[in-house]
Every structure is written in C-alpha cells, then in structure tokens.
Amino acid sequence: MTLYINMFEYEGKPFANGLQAYMYTSGEEIDKEKINVSIGNALKDLDIRVGNNSAVAQFLYSMYCVPFDPGDLPREICGGTRDFSFSWKLDGKKTLVPTDSDHREIIRRLVANAIAKKQIQNGWFVERYGFAYHWSFTLSKELRTAFMEVYPGFVYRPYVYEDGSCAIMIDPKFKFMPKKNLRDLIEGHLQKKVEQKMIKLLFEGDFIIDACPIIECPHRKNPSSDCWLKGAGRRRKLVQLDFNKSPLAASIGDLREYRKKRCKFHGRIADIIADRPPIALVEKEHSNEFLEYPIERLREELKLHKVHKWQRLLVMKYIQPSLDRRWKLTENFAAYVDDLTIGRLHQLELTRSFAEAGSNNRPWESFACFEEPPLKFGNQACSYEPFSGLKRNGPYDLDGKDRRKFDSLRMMILNLSHKLTLEDVKRFYNDLVNGFTRGGSHFVGMKKIFRLEISKFSEDLLLSNISEIKELDQRQQPDIILVPCRRMGDHKIRHYGPFKQKLTRKGVLSQFILEDKLGPRMTPSKYASYLKNMALTIYYKVGGIPWVIGRPVSSNTCFIGLAMVTRRDTRCMSMQIFDSFGLWLGGWTEFIDKDEYSRRLVDRIREAQDIYAKEIGKPPSKTILHKDGEMWTDIEIQPIIDAFQSKVVCVSVKKTVLPRMYDHKRSDYVVKRGSYVRIDDNAALLATSGPPHPIPGSQRPITVEIKGNEINRSMLMNICEEIFDLSLVFGGYRLSIISKPITTHFASKALSLASKYKILESPLLWRKAWFV
C-alpha cells in the first residue's frame, strides 16, 4: 500500500521566523452574541480597506491584518447593526510564532483569507464552508446539463505546523443549481390537479436556495459585485407557502416593486415575478421572524431521488467521481492556490505533489492500517462476518451476564400506504419474520437469526389507526409497530413527525417502512439487504444487542457519544454511553436552556460514569467523549477540563467533505478499511469503510481531532484505533461511503429526530434505541 493524502506543501518553511501582523482590539465590555455579529461586519470592512495582497483574520474578539502597505491601515474600525455597534482600535504589531497553537491558528486563517482574495481577483466566488474550510467556485464555466447548472469548484483548508511549514488540503466540490424555480415546480403540480394543501405539505420545512433568477445577469457572475444576490445563492429554510397572498399584496407591500428598485440589472428581476399566489414565508436568520419572498427567487436543493436515472448518473459524475478521477481534478485545482502573496514579504509556492504517508519529519510520517477485531455473538462465539456469526450463534445477548429480558417479539402493523394491499403487507411480514429466498439472494428471517418467538401473520395484528393502541390490554400491547407508508417529497408521509412524537413520548416503539422498498423496482439482492437492515434496526429498538466487539477496545474505559444542536434559546443534546466492548448502556436526548448547557453536559458525564460503574462493577479508569462534529471551546471543552482535568478526553469525530486518502498502488485508488494517517499534532484521517466491502462513489475518511488535552502520537493513534473498532458495531456497520463509530452514530441519530420533530423520549424507552 502506497498511501497519499490530498495535502500539498508550500516550499520551505515560510513561517519559521514568525509572521508580523497588526492587531485590532476592542476595549469595550464584551457581549458575546452582539460582538460576534459586529466583528464579522468590521472584518469585512477592514478587508476591503487594506486591498489586495493583504490578509485579515479574526481570532476570538480581536482582528489581525498583514497589509501590503501599512499606510492603508485605519486607526479605528467599527462594526455592528442598526441596534448596536462596537469599535476596534489599532493596537500595534504582533509577531505570530508557529510554536504557539493560537498563533498557528491565526496564521492559518490569514493564509485562508489570502487565498480567498486571490480567487476573488481571478473571478471566483469564495464561501465559508463548515468550521475551518472555504469553498471556491466560478459561475463563468458552467458545465452542460439540461436540467441543472453545474459550476466547477473546490474546497480548501490550510494547515500551519510548529516548524513554520505550511500545507493546504484541497478537494473538488462542484456547485449544483436546478434550473426550475419554485414557481415552475408549483405550476407543474397544479397542472396535475394536485391540491394546494398537498403542495404546501410537499415544501413545508424544506431547505431551499435563494438565488438570482436572471441567469445571464453580469452582476450575478461577478464576485466583486455589490449585488445582494450574486453567486450561486444562499441556503434558506422555507417555513411554508401562503396561497392567500400574491407578490403584489404581501404584508410589506408590493414585492415586485421592491425587487425592481434593488435589482442591479435594470430591475429585470421584477419582470419575471408573476402576480399570482403563492408567496413563500422564509425563516429569517437568528430570529423567530420570517420574510416574504417571491417564489421565482427560490429553487429546490438537489434531491437525487427526484432525478431521472440517466440524469442522476450525470450528476453523480460530479458529486462522487471515482477516486482516480478525483485525483486528477485535485491536481488541476492545486494550481489555483499556488504563488500566494501575503503582505510584502511572504511569497508561497506550492510543491504540486500529493503528500505521501511515511515522509520523514512530516506530520503524515505516522500512518498505519488497523486490523479488524472479531465480533462476539451468542455463546461467546466470535466471527469477523456479522450475519454469518448471527446465523451460526445467535445474538450476543442470547446468554451470559448481558442476557436479554425477552424471548418473544410482538409486532403489530398500521398500514398508512394506499398502494400496498393486505397481501403485500402479509408478504413483507412473512419475509421479515420467516425469511426470504429469490434469485440467489437470501435472508433467514428474524425468528431464526435472533432465536425469537414471533407471532404468525394474522389480521389481529393489524391496526386501523393509532388510537386503537389505547384500547389494547397489557398482554396485547405490541413491542413495536410497523408502519408501511408512502413517500411524500423527501419525507415519510406528513404524519411521520406527529406520529413518532406521540408514540415516543408514550414509550411505544415504531418502525416506518417506505412502500417503494417493497415495490417491484427492488431487486432480490436489494430487498434481502433491506430485510437484514430492518431486522437489525428492530432488534436494537426493542432492546436487543446483536453483537459486540470480541475484545476490549480499551481497558476499563467509558465511551460517550455526544451530539448537540442549537435552536435559538434552546440546545438539544444527545448523550449515549458505551463500555469497552461497544455495549450500549443507555443515554439521554433532551432539550436544555442555552445558558444551562455547559452545566448539564458536565452533570450528564458524571451520571454516565456512575451508570458505567453500576453496570460494570467498578468506575471507569478513563472516559473518552466522542463529539459528533466540531467541539466548542467555551461551552464544551473548557467546562469539561475545569470539572475533570485530564480524566475525560475530548475527541471531535467529523464527517467532512474534504479529506481524502488514496492508495496509489490500486487502479481505483481506494484505500483499505482501517487506514490511518496523522495530518496534524492532534488530528488524523481514518478510513472506516472500504475494501473488502465495495463502496459507491468516492471513499471518504472521517477526521479525528483530540481537543484540549496534551497528546502524543501513540495517544492519537490509539484513539483512532478505538474509533475504528467501534465503527464495526451495528450503528456503523452499514458500510457505504463512510461509517461512524457507534458512539456518534447513536447520538447524532437521536439528536436528528428529537430536534426535527421536538420528540421527548419516555423513561420506558431506556436502553431501547427508538432513534435508529
């Protein structure tokens, strides 16, 4: 294996002697929420004032600038909104040294800004993408497709190292824009006699793209334009469509006249706004209010299941190119970040060759390929293949100290599909319970694989509506309700959210089954795979444990998965607890006041450690917290360090689009599952999917970062090996482009459902994975 990563080094060590930057500080009392808005506006103003070949960056509540001409620096700069403002004053020079981690981050941001300015000069747009990435694309090189605009682009992220060397990670990422706007789509539905209330449901709560509808507008294609609709549009949330209003009768007045005054292209945007309902109510950022938009300005996000097969193949060529094609595209885009100027003294030239794992004295010198651990099943038997292990030995909780508390399973059915007949539902139930064989594809059935007593199909198992559940006595209560349903747009029918919310609060489990998964388009092999995944999902939901890791991932360690999202004044948090074998010990998903989050996080970690001690018989010798996505210093990392010092290790597990690994000795460039490469002092790439299992599209490793702890190379490697092992437990085993460890998989799944549908879990569902 000859392993490469999509990292390119700049020649020499450009920052070995540090970087001289001018610093702006605010002497005013800090209101964090207000100053975050203000400093963003102030930084934009400073960036414009200092001009090209200069670089600006924000770090915490200060700004830094490396100007081409120091004479262009303003003494003071202000930023804010109509309601408040702050000022920053020039506070002299500061030498940024690469041996200081905060200074390295400031230099990294200055390099990223210098690249962005060069791209904009060359006619390319640059947007922030995630926490530390930028996305550059051009609208002047549209690629061919009849139903969609496709614009070439790439994502990049600089890295700065202790010795003053600098590198950049690059990955191709194209922009996609459907040619039809919401008006076109809605008119199409109306022509098909679809009712207005159904159209409202189809789009309600969807994310849409707010973009200029005038494709040929020169202001739209110019990144230096002051047009508010330039570029490829912004992502917005559509609250709903209002069919009672037309654009001429909006609450704020005539939308057409308003757009005509603001349009830079002779007011032409107003000419294509039709004077008939509906108008769109769009969520305003950082506010409970909504804005009224003409629907001609809005387009759907790309949804592949709505695209014809031949069109999908064309789009996938750009979304997920094969790794060998992605390698060539990456080489081409590297030219755009070469010959970089920062101020007067720093000229950065790129080596133009992919970084090779094992290179001496480089971060990526450290690399490995982890061996897969065996999985443990019933009777303590081990196997490397999950379903063959299950078939031969039964599930892990069949016997032993973790023996399950049930030997039978009662499933009832509520058919919400108008397409599926009683015979269709009966056939699916029998295939799931007793097994399925057709065309060389095979599934043995839940009864045999899990050693369970499950009722034969009868009409007594059918429910006509959800209220019937209340009428059942305790002996008739189902363990889980199967709900065949239609797909509506992107969603499982309009009842899904309220239905799931109501049942989960009462402690009743449910499993929705899309009718198209039971239809004639499903090949026998795809149907058998669907039955296997459905069986695993149901078994976990009712409290079963199909398998665990055959050896301890780490001695006497409590693993915690964490996911969190902020919704205005509330934070939704999910925390899930696991032992050293990947055995799930339970967890919580809850809504918390934003200001109480840090305290609750620390309290829940203590409770998790207590639960671990109760289940295992002794307290954990160490606790490792896996956060799904980026970790926040002030509300997560620092409170945990203050409460636990080094006894809790914080690890960020990120599924980003950018990092790639390539095996140059394979014709398809795909790396073996378990491949690991260090890319920074505290960060590494880890391939959790790949050969021997086939994967569609472009393989993507996950990024692992240790936060807030002193680390060494062996610690980072050990943590990555633990994550790889935990990715083989059920949650991460459905191998595709990427697989998460079960810690963050469970936490992110529970968070996604709870936050989207405001689901409160019942105490009756403790250690029942209602969210998978």
Nearest to 244 by CA among 284, 197, 207: 197
Instruction: Note if the bond before 278 is cis, omega within 30 degrees.
Output: yes
Query: What's the pLDDT at 713?
Result: 73
**Looking up tokens 């690249």, which residue turns up?**
115
Which residue, chain included where needed, has tokens 């094992």?
A: 358
Beta strand 622-628 with 648-654 is: parallel
Rg, C-alpha atoms of the chain: 28
Nearest of 311, 350, 319, 10 to residue 171 by alpha carbon: 319
Is residue 672 within 8 A of residue 612, CB to CB? The reply is no
The neighbour count for residue 349, using CB atoms within 10 Å, is: 12
What are the strands, taking DSSP E only, across 397-544? Answer: 408-409, 411-414, 436-438, 441-443, 453-454, 462-463, 480-485, 487-488, 491-492, 510-514
Maximum separation of any 2 CA atoms in the chain, in Å: 85
Separation between Cα atoms, residue 339 and residue 327, nearest integer Å: 21
Which SS3 state, helix, strand or coil, does residue 236 take? strand
Phi, psi for 693 (deg, rounded to 5) = -90, 130
Selection from 651, 577, 653, 648 nearest residue 615 by Cα: 577
Q: Are strands 557-567 and 622-628 parallel, antiparallel or unpaired?
A: parallel
Run of H or E residues at 89: strand 85-96
* Cα–Cα separations (whole angstroms), residue 146 to 141, 177, 335: 15, 11, 30
Contacts of 715 (CB under 8 A, 6+ apart): 706
3-state secondary structure 429-442: HHHHHHCEEECCEE
Nearest CA to 587 among 387, 395, 763?
763
* Bridge partners, 235 (sequence order): 209
Is the CA virtual torsion 523, 528, 532, 538 positive or negative? positive
Q: What pTM was computed for the model?
A: 0.91
Q: How far is CA 354 from CA 108, 567, 700, 739, in A?
A: 20, 40, 17, 25
CA angle at 220 for the pair 223 and 214, rounded to the nearest 5°: 170
Tens-digit pLDDT profile for residues 320-343: 888 899 999 999 999 999 999 998
Q: Which two tokens stand for residue 307?
A: 């695209």
- Give CA separation, 160 vs 9, 59, 101, 701, in Å: 10, 15, 9, 21
- Token digits for 701? 């490793």
Structure tokens at 203: 């789009």
- Please return the burial class of 581, using the count of CB atoms within 10 Å of its CB with bins 0-12, 13-18 and 19+: buried
The tokens describing 209, both together, are 């793209």
Report the C-alpha gap between 751 and 739 in whole angstroms. 17
Domains along the sequence of the chain with CATH: 3-175+319-351 (no CATH), 207-300 (no CATH), 383-541 (3.40.50), 551-760 (3.30.420.10)
Output the pLDDT for position 386. Answer: 87
Q: What angle do the packed helices 496-506 and 742-757 form, to 10 degrees?
A: 110
Burial (CB count <10 Å: 0-12, 13-18, 19+), residue 309: exposed
* 8 Å CB contact between 39 and 105: no
User: 3-state class of 200 per DSSP?
Assistant: helix
Q: Is 688 exposed, middle or buried (CB count within 10 Å of its CB: 0-12, 13-18, 19+)?
A: buried
173, 232 contact by CB (below 8 A): no
Q: What is the pLDDT of residue 284?
A: 83
Query: What CA–CA distance (Å, rounded) separates 373 from 263?
Result: 61
* Regions of the chain with pLDDT less than 50: 490, 732-735
687 contacts 672 by C-beta, under 8 angstroms: yes
Round to the nearest angstrom and report the end-to-end CA distance of the chain: 36
Tokens representing residue 598 in the block: 């840090």
Please give the DSSP secondary-structure letter assigned to residue 350: B
